Amino acid sequence: MVIRFESTTKQYPDGTVAVDALDLTVPSGAITVFVGPSGCGKTTSLRMINRMIDPTSGRVLIDDVDVASERPARLRRRIGYVIQHAGLFPHRTVVDNVATVPVLSGTPRKEARTRAYELLERVGLTAAMGDRYPAQLSGGQQQRVGVARALAADPPVLLMDEPFSAVDPVVRHDLQAELLRLQGELGKTIVLVTHDIDEAIVLGDHVAVFAEGGRLAQFAPPEELLASPADAFVAGFVGRDRGYRGLSFATAADLPVEPVTAEGTVVEGLALVLDDGRPTGWRDPDGRLLPTEGTHTADDSLRVVADLALLSPAGAAIRVDAAGRAVGLVRQTTVADVVRQRQRSRLAVGAVGGSAG
């Protein structure tokens, strides 16, 4: 379903403008991320989609139907909604939490609960967890239940308001990966709000950057956002390391790879240790085995290789084949050279574009 904002404005009685004449089309079947500093109108914009907030002027349409023409309760039953801390009912079991909207919509309770157990497994939980209460789950598990509950009525639209901000970084990474996996299977129209530009870049097919005063500063795919910020505000918000973030969109396939020899490969005084061709660590001159910090394949991104090379005690990322056997290595200096070349290319393009204007 396509969501469209047409000159949508929200102004409060005290004169504060939360959203300023927003014109934006959220494409169907993709993840669109609203990102920006606190108070920029991203959450207000999200909540105008399901009429938790009504605009002062302008319209919000879903597949060309103005949401203002529908009763809020009916509208919300076909739009999934996920918030921080999951917002689960503490007095209901997990499975009954997930079954809430289908039961309210008239689905027989037994059928709704059967579907809820299936959804729990789909979001990475066990069916046995359905009989627990929210307080018996970890924060990350509760967020998974929140996603399952939002999907229970099979809504075409899913709204997510900072859904992963209340969990630790490791759990957050797992939840992000789970969302991408689910989206690959389900193809929902998802609008997600975050204040974290890294999360926006990881999750978004398109990213809308909001500025203070409720102004839409830029709407673009993440790679375009990183390469060509629309103005100084976007460039500052994306950050000085946007060139490094941009490595996420290029693969390691064309990186120069040094061969790994059967006789032994030594880098910076450290010897690569192999077990049936699989790397197990780096041996230092004192005989200590240091970790490899991970391996990569040709299909991984340049950012993955850069991270591994920086973490490696030898300053080199080890490339492996599908069987996990070492086929070569990429030195930190090689990655740095590629980053510099990409940066020079962007600057050259920018200079040509600037002189043409």
- Taking phi over 0 as left and psi of -120 to 50 as alpha, with beta for the rest, 24 belongs to beta
pLDDT for position 338? 77
Largest CA distance in the chain: 76
CA distance 29 to 211: 26
pLDDT for position 349? 46
pLDDT for position 354? 47
Q: What is the pTM of this model?
A: 0.73
When pLDDT is averaged across residues 309-324 and rounded to a whole number, the result is 91
* Three-class SS state of 130: helix
Q: State the helix-helix crossing angle for 302-311 and 332-356, rounded to 10 degrees.
A: 140
- Taking phi over 0 as left and psi of -120 to 50 as alpha, with beta for the rest, 229 belongs to beta
- What mean pLDDT value characterizes the chain? 88
For the cut 70, the answer to whether the pLDDT of residue 288 exceeds it is yes
pLDDT: which is higher, 345 or 281: 281
Q: Which amino acid is at 174?
A: D
Residue 257 phi, psi (nearest 5): -120, 125
Q: Which amino acid is at 171?
A: V
For the cut 80, the answer to whether the pLDDT of residue 86 exceeds it is no
Place of tokens 């500063």: 217
Taking residue 136's Cβ as centre, other Cβ atoms within 10 Å add up to: 12
Residues with Cβ within 8 Å of residue 188, at least 6 apart in sequence = 29, 80, 155, 156, 157, 158
CA distance 183 to 194: 18
List the one residue out of 81, 87, 102, 96 whose CA is nearest residue 133: 96
For the cut 80, the answer to whether the pLDDT of residue 348 exceeds it is no
List the one residue out of 191, 211, 212 whose CA is nearest residue 200: 191
Q: How many CA atoms lie within 13 A of 51 on its CB side?
A: 17
CA distance 184 to 338: 31
Could you report the per-residue pLDDT of 207-261, keeping only the tens digit for each?
A: 999 999 999 999 999 888 877 889 989 988 887 666 666 777 778 888 889 999 8
When pLDDT is averaged across residues 306-316 and rounded to a whole number, the result is 88
- Give me the domains of the chain, ranges plus CATH numbers: 3-249 (3.40.50.300), 250-357 (3.10.580.10)
